Amino acid sequence: MNHEKNDSALQGEQTPRRKRGFGKQPSSDHEKKDQSRRWLFWTVDILLVVAIVAAVLVAVSLLTPFSLFGSGEDELRSITYTVEFVGVDSEQVSQLKVGDTVTDVKTGSVIGTVSAINNRPYEVYTDTPIPDKELGEDVYVVGTYTYPDSYVTLTVTISVTAEYRAGLGYSAEDCRIAVGSEYELRFPSYTASGSCIGMRE
């Protein structure tokens, strides 16, 4: 009987202690885990936002003419570019002279002066394939027809002091100058359409 009472008394004393100890320990551990998880989520969120903002800034600076990291001021640079005109009447070539002022018809901007004039025979591709003797009898290439005297391919080299801006390129007054661009140019006694095939500073 006494043993049973003592056992029950011991169990009564131990049970509250276990309950009290068991109840407090998990709650503090759980709170610590929650706080560490919150800090982890906040850190990841902040890093993601910073990465997205940085990516947007880099994309804007690369894909647009706006410079986010530079001064964005124009620089004056002396450039020389070449415009090619195809199928020009050979009689009109004599109307062009070195030193002529060149005006862009579309914008009305003066975009330089003529510094060199060259021409070569005007060639066009035909629809008839012809055998290539150098590559072999079974190899055919696209044939060309050369106009003997009536038409020429004209190249005009133009010099100008242009404004340069990073991300935008060169421009003379309101006319942007770039390789591959098409222009309708007015000379003092001649107007023709051509494309820019080269540029150098």
Q: Which pLDDT does position 63 carry in this prediction?
A: 60
Q: What distance lies between CA 140 and its chain's CA centroid?
A: 39
Q: Which pLDDT does position 57 carry in this prediction?
A: 80
pLDDT tens digits, residue range 124-178? 777 777 777 777 767 777 777 677 778 899 999 999 999 998 888 999 999 999 9
- Residues ≥6 apart with Cβ < 8 Å to 188: 100, 101
Average model confidence (pLDDT) across the chain: 80
Q: Which pLDDT does position 97 carry in this prediction?
A: 94
| Backbone dihedral region for residue 173 (phi beyond 0: left; psi -120 to 50: alpha; all else: beta) | left
Strands 136-165 and 175-177: unpaired
Q: Which pLDDT does position 125 carry in this prediction?
A: 74
Handedness of CA 38, 39, 44, 49 (dihedral sign): positive
Tell me how far apart the alpha carbons of residues 200 and 84 are, in angstroms, rounded to a whole number: 15
Which of 30-44, 50-64, 130-144, 184-198 is modeled with the greatest confidence? Answer: 184-198
What average pLDDT does this structure show over 18-22? 47
Q: Are 177 and 79 in contact (CB under 8 A)?
A: yes
